[in-house]
C-alpha cells in the first residue's frame, strides 16, 4: 500500500507521571498514565533514557533500533512496548506497567527469610521465561523476515512477576537482531549485566539465541541456591569464572534437587552453545517435571506464594499506590511531555 500524509492519524498525546519507580543505570523508570480524550487514561511504565546516554549516538541508535525491533513482540510472558518517543531531546519508551515484584526482589526476599524458593515455583518462573524467549527467538517480522531476536540481558531485574502470578520478561532493550549486527560496535560495549553473561558474551564473540539459554541457566541456578552463580567483580577474574573454571555443583548446595531439574540446569549451562537446549526444549523439560508435582505450579500458586512472602506490599501496590508516594518532581521532562502541540486529528475531533 502506498503511504501518504492522508494515512497518518496525528494525535495530541501526553503522559501524567505518577511516581518514580527506579533509577537504573541507563534510564529512569516512572509509573505514568497515558492520557487521551474524554478522561481516557492508561497505566504505563515510562522508561526515560538518561541524557548522557541519549547524547551518545551509538547508545541512542541501539535504544531506538531495539525499541523498533521489540515493538511487535506480543506475548503473554513479554512486557509489551507501546511507544517510543522524544521530547526536548529526551527519549522515552512507554510499555506495559507490571504491578508486582522483580525476580531480583523475590530472590532477595527468600534470602532475607532464609527460606529456599519452592522448587516448583522456581521451575515455573524459568519455564515461563523459556516461553518468552522461544517466541522472541523465532519471531518473524510482519514482512515475513526472521529477525533472530536475542534478549542479551536475561537477569533477575528484567524478569517481573505480576501480583496475580504471571511472569513477564522485560527489556529486549539491548537485545540486538543479528540482521542489524555491527561487529565493530560489539567489541566496545559489554551487553547485558556482567554477572549474567554467557561465555560467548563475556568473550565478545558473536551471540545468538543460545546465549539467552545459558543466561537463563545462571538465573535458574540463583533461584535454586539463592546465591549468584558468578560473583567476581574484577573483570578478568569474572571472565575466568564464566569461561574456564568448573561451575560449582548445584547438588552440593541443594541436595534434594530432583535429577530432572539438575539435568535441565546442567544442559543450559553448557559452555559450548551447541550442547545447550533451545529455549523451547528447556521449557518443555521443565514443564514435564512441573506437571508431575502436587500441587502443580500455576499462576494461582505463584500468586499465593507472593502473597505469603510479601504480605504487605501487595496491598499497598494494588491500592492507590501513586497517591501514597511522595510526589516526584519531574521538572523539564514533565513540562516537555505536556507542552501544547499542534492540535491533531483526535484533538480536533474531540474539541481539545
Ligand X SMILES: Nc1ncnc2c1ncn2[C@@H]1O[C@H](COP(=O)(O)OP(=O)(O)OP(=O)(O)O)[C@@H](O)[C@H]1O
In the complex, which residues of this chain contact ligand X (CB under 6 A)? 21-22, 24-27, 29, 45, 79, 95-98, 102, 153, 157-158, 170-171, 173, 193
Which cell numbers in the block locate residue 241?
569464572
In the complex with Mg ion, which residue's Cβ is closer, 66 or 171?
171
- Tell how many helices (H) and how many strands (E) occur in the chain: 16, 7
CB 95 within 8 A of CB 45: yes
Which cell numbers in the block locate residue 284?
518443555
Non-local CB neighbours of 215 within 8 Å, separated by 6+ positions: 151, 154, 155, 192, 196, 197, 198, 201
Pairwise CA distance, residues 104 & 121, whole Å:
15
In the complex with ligand X, which residue's Cβ is closer, 155 or 303?
155
In the complex with ligand X, which residue's Cβ is closer, 190 or 296?
190
Q: Smallest distance from the beta carbon of 125 to Mg ion, in angstroms?
A: 16
Near Mg ion by CB under 5 A: residue from 31, 33, 171, 200: 171
Q: Smallest distance from the beta carbon of 200 to Mg ion, in angstroms?
A: 22
Which cell numbers in the block locate residue 345?
486529528
Catalytic residue flag (residue 23): no
Pairwise CA distance, residues 261 & 220, whole Å:
10
Pairwise CA distance, residues 16 & 165, whole Å:
27
In the complex with ligand X, which residue's Cβ is closer, 70 or 287?
70
Strands (E), 97-216: 159-161, 167-169
Q: Which does 247 bind (CB under 5 to 8 A by kind): ligand X, Mg ion, none?
A: none
Which residue has cell 532477595? 108
Q: Smallest distance from the beta carbon of 157 to Mg ion, in angstroms?
A: 5
Q: Smallest distance from the beta carbon of 137 to ligand X, in angstroms?
A: 19
Q: Smallest distance from the beta carbon of 9 to ligand X, in angstroms?
A: 26
Q: Does 28 bind Mg ion (CB under 5 A)?
A: no
Q: Based on the number of CB atoms within 10 Å of its own CB, is 210 exposed (0-12), middle (13-18) or buried (19 or more)?
A: buried
Tell me phi and psi for residue 33, to 5 degrees: -120, 130
Q: Which does 96 bind (CB under 5 to 8 A by kind): Mg ion, ligand X, none?
A: ligand X
Q: Which residue is nearest to ligand X (CB)?
A: 24
Q: Which residue is nearest to Mg ion (CB)?
A: 171
The one-character DSSP state at 275 is: G
Q: Which does 74 bind (CB under 5 to 8 A by kind): ligand X, Mg ion, none?
A: none
Total site size for Mg ion, rule CB under 5 A: 2
Q: Which does 21 bind (CB under 5 to 8 A by kind): Mg ion, ligand X, none?
A: ligand X
Q: Does 158 bind Mg ion (CB under 5 A)?
A: yes
**Interaction residues for Mg ion, span 225-284 (CB under 5 A):** none
Non-local CB neighbours of 101 within 8 Å, separated by 6+ positions: 109, 160, 161, 306, 310, 313
Catalytic residue among 134, 153, 171, 212: 153
Of 60, 4, 65, the residue nearest 27 (C-alpha) = 60
Question: Which spans of this chain sit near Mg ion (rule: CB under 5 A)?
Answer: 158, 171
Which positions are annotated as active-site residues? 153
Amino acid at each position: 500500500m502506498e503511504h501518504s500524509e492522508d494515512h497518518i492519524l496525528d494525535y495530541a498525546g501526553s503522559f501524567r507521571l505518577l511516581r518514580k519507580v527506579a533509577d537504573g543505570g541507563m534510564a529512569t523508570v516512572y509509573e505514568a498514565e497515558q492520557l487521551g480524550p474524554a478522561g481516557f487514561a492508561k497505566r504505563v511504565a515510562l522508561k526515560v533514557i538518561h541524557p548522557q546516554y541519549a547524547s551518545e549516538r551509538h547508545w541512542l541508535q541501539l535504544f531506538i533500533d531495539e525499541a523498533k525491533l521489540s515493538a511487535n513482540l506480543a506475548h503473554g510472558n513479554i512486557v509489551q512496548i507501546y511507544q517510543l518517543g522524544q521530547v526536548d531531546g529526551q527519549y522515552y519508551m512507554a510499555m506495559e506497567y507490571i504491578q508486582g515484584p522483580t525476580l531480583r526482589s523475590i530472590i532477595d526476599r527468600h534470602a532475607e527469610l532464609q527460606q529456599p524458593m519452592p522448587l516448583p515455583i522456581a521451575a515455573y518462573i524459568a519455564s515461563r521465561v523459556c516461553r518468552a524467549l522461544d517466541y522472541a527467538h523465532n519471531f518473524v517480522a510482519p514482512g515475513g523476515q526472521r529477525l533472530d531476536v536475542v534478549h542479551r540481558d536475561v537477569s533477575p531485574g528484567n524478569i517481573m512477576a505480576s501480583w496475580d502470578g504471571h511472569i513477564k520478561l522485560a527489556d529486549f532493550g539491548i537485545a540486538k537482531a543479528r540482521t542489524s549486527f555491527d561487529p565493530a560496535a560489539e567489541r566496545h560495549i559489554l551487553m547485558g549485566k556482567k554477572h549474567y553473561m554467557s561465555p560467548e558474551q563475556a568473550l565478545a564473540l558473536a551471540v545468538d539465541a543460545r546465549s539467552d539459554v545459558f543466561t537463563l541457566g545462571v538465573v535458574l541456578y540463583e533461584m535454586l541456591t539463592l546465591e549468584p552463580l558468578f560473583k567476581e567483580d574484577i573483570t578478568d577474574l569474572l571472565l575466568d569464572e564464566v569461561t574456564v573454571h568448573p561451575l560449582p555443583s548445584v547438588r552440593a548446595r541443594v541436595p534434594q534437587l530432583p535429577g530432572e531439574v539438575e539435568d535441565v540446569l546442567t544442559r543450559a549451562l553448557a559452555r559450548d552453545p551447541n550442547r545447550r537446549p533451545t529455549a523451547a526444549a528447556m521449557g518443555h523439560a521443565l514443564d514435564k517435571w512441573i506437571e508431575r508435582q502436587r500441587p502443580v505450579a500455576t499462576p494461582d500458586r505463584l500468586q499465593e506464594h507472593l502473597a505469603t512472602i510479601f504480605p504487605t506490599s501487595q496491598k499497598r501496590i494494588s491500592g492507590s499506590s501513586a497517591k501514597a508516594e511522595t510526589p516526584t518532581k519531574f521538572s523539564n521532562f514533565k513540562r516537555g511531555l505536556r507542552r501544547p502541540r499542534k492540535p491533531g486529528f483526535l484533538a480536533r475531533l474531540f474539541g481539545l
